[in-house]
Chain A
Amino acid sequence: MNKFQSIILFFLLHMASIFAIFPERMMAAATKAQWMPVAIIFLAELLVVWLYLKAMSKFPGKSILDLCCDTFGKWGAGFMLLPLLVFLFLQVILLTCYLTVEIRTVLLPKTPIYATSAIFVSICMYGVWKGLSVLIRASMGWFVLLMPFILFSMLISIGNFNFDYIFPVWDAKFSFIWKQDFYVGTIIFSGFLFLGMTPSRLRIGFGTASALIGLIFLFALTSVYIPLLIFGHETAVHFQYPMLMASDTVDLEWVVFDWLPSFYVVSSSGLGLIKVSVLLWMLLTLLRQLYLPKIKSLWLLIFIGIVLYFACQWIPNAKTLDKYLYISSYLCLYSTVGFPILIYLSTLRRKKEAHA
């Protein structure tokens, strides 16, 4: 267990969003100059992570939960963290649903969704049961296993690029600000929240975090621009899985594997597994410490797993999924932008009290 593993987990959690929901939302949000929403999202993340880590570093050895409880009291903390909990729960459901549908459409068209999601949910539950340290260690393995495929499937399609599609490169009206899809893209932020809940010896500094965010920004930019440069915005915006379609355009005789999209699906669902498990772990920990300290965590986990499983069956199609993604984007804004700012302000106040 060292900081390096936290770094990898931080990176992989962001990659999970890049491979699942982020690129198509960015494309839907901006009709031109798609790099601008991406850049704005990542600048915002940089700011928020700075505040979050700053607040954490003032009180080493305490998690965000302790910080909240100390400042606002137990009830205040319960009230403040409720939207975060709802967000985590919605996020877990939507991500599981999204990934099982993706696996179904691409790899197993005849397998019913209840079978795929049963395996998916049970693997996630196993990960949560084993705890964060095991998840972090597993993410190392995931990293070694998946990164070559991810890089390969991203870079190999360069041959099909039509660089004319990059224009226009500037959107003077910032029209994407008014699109809801832009705010759905903020789910990529949920990758840093776990930093507030790890033991302090595993926390990474702001310098490392900013370097990581820079690297992830590059990946996010490529994930948006690969489908754009291949298909053009008008066509790419209609795809449900634009990156998948982009990897399907590659036709090389020397590639042993005939069908590259399967790589994409395997890596995206692998990353999704890690993300769902980590978010589920956060949800479980918060829920137990705040509201239900007497219940055994295993029973709570089983209960949440069953709810998650049935919620996945209940979402009938992509349109409903979209609707809930829009709803969760409000909660997402609160829990990934508002919440860290609140934490930071509360630490400022406590510092003043300590001085006085």
Chain B
Amino acid sequence: MNSLRVKLVVLVVGMTVLLEGCWDTKDINKQYLPVVMGVGKGSKEKYKIILEIPNASGKDQFLEKEAISISKAIDLIRTDAEKSINMVHLRLMLFDRSIAQEGIRDIIDYAVRANDISIKGMVAVVDGDFDKTLYHVISPTPEISTYDFFNKEAGWTPNVSLVRIWRLIAVRIPTPKIWPFLCSRMATAPYMLLKERLSCARTAWSGS
């Protein structure tokens, strides 16, 4: 009887050590969970990163920073924000056309290597005013309109083609080819097989 009691006490004490949630817990209301990331050209630095965060009140929140690299920009945003930023729910990466023309291989590699970014996220190139497109919000929609544009269930249009991050690493396109490959239906010879699958993906709509 006595040894059972000792065992129980050890068990309970052990549980307080093991079940308190370790090192990683952060309440969900203490976190920003961005759904859209925009990668544009910065005015002073190389990249301008815009994160779009859905909000329960229906108004989207935007966080923006310029830096020499994406992770640096996200770190800067993290420094300013009052909550921690967690990229696990990132679903859409938008590239400015000028960035895409220079080649986005490094960025795609970053997205694959980063632990928290899911490789099933979608990729698109913004043709037109980058900022206007990114900050464009259709107020009656409770969710993020930029993301909904690509959502199969949203019922907008069946003609939007979807390109996912993992598809881009699966085809291994040489850097200078990436933009023409994404934005025109002309595929270069070795990639003829995938020509139809990876067709145009761009948001040609802006706020105006």
Contacts and interface: CB of A to CB of B under 8 A. Distances in A.
Interface of A: 105-106, 108-112, 115, 119, 160, 162, 164, 230-232, 234-235, 245, 248-251, 253, 258-259
B24 A249 contact: no
Contacts of A230: 166, 170
Interface in B152-205: 152-153, 164, 166, 169-172, 193
Contact of A259 (B88, B153, B172, B193): B88
B119 A253 contact: no
Interface in B124-151: none
Nearest to A254: B153
B22 A231 contact: no
B42 to A, nearest CB: 28
A249 B88 contact: no
B118 interface: yes
Contacts, number: 50
B170 A112 contact: no
The residue in A109, A111, A251 that gathers the most chain B C-beta atoms within 10 A of its C-beta is: A251
Contacts of B153: 253
Contacts of B120: 248-251
B18 interface: yes
B3 interface: no
A253 B119 CA distance: 16
A110 B24 contact: yes
A106 B118 contact: no
A257 to B, nearest CB: 13
B115 interface: yes
Nearest to A236: B170
Given A248-B118, A249-B119, A249-B120, A231 B193 contact: no
Contacts of B23: 108, 110-112, 115
26 contacts: A105-B115, A106-B115, A108-B23, A108-B24, A109-B24, A109-B115, A110-B23, A111-B22, A111-B23, A112-B23, A119-B18, A160-B166, A162-B170, A230-B170, A231-B166, A232-B170, A234-B172, A235-B170, A235-B172, A248-B120, A249-B120, A249-B164, A251-B120, A251-B164, A258-B89, A259-B118
Given A108-B24, A251-B120, A245 B166 contact: yes
Contacts of A231: 166, 169-170
A245 B117 CA distance: 12
Contacts of B166: 160, 230-231, 245, 248-249
Contacts of A259: 88, 118
Nearest to A249: B166
A263 to B, nearest CB: 14
The 9 closest A-B pairs by CB, nearest first: A251-B120, A111-B23, A231-B170, A110-B23, A249-B166, A110-B24, A111-B22, A248-B119, A235-B169
A160 B120 CA distance: 11
How big is the B interface, by class? 20 to 34
Contacts of A119: 18
B39 to A, nearest CB: 21
Nearest to B118: A248
Given A231-B170, A248-B119, A253-B153, A111 B164 contact: no
Contacts of A232: 170-172
Interface in B91-119: 115-116, 118-119
Given A248-B119, A249-B164, 18 more contacts: A105-B115, A108-B22, A109-B24, A109-B115, A109-B116, A111-B22, A111-B23, A112-B23, A232-B170, A234-B172, A235-B169, A235-B172, A249-B120, A249-B166, A250-B120, A253-B152, A253-B153, A259-B118
Nearest to B112: A245
Contacts of A249: 119-120, 164, 166
B40 to A, nearest CB: 25
Nearest to B18: A119
A230 B170 CA distance: 7
Nearest to B14: A122
A245 B171 CA distance: 15
A190 B166 CA distance: 34
A248 B193 CA distance: 24
Contacts of A253: 152-153
Nearest to A116: B22
Interface in B2-41: 18, 22-24
A231 B164 CA distance: 12
A38 B133 CA distance: 50
A159 to B, nearest CB: 12
B88 to A, nearest CB: 7
A73 B23 CA distance: 53
Contacts of A110: 23-24
Nearest to A247: B120
Contacts of B170: 162, 230-232, 235
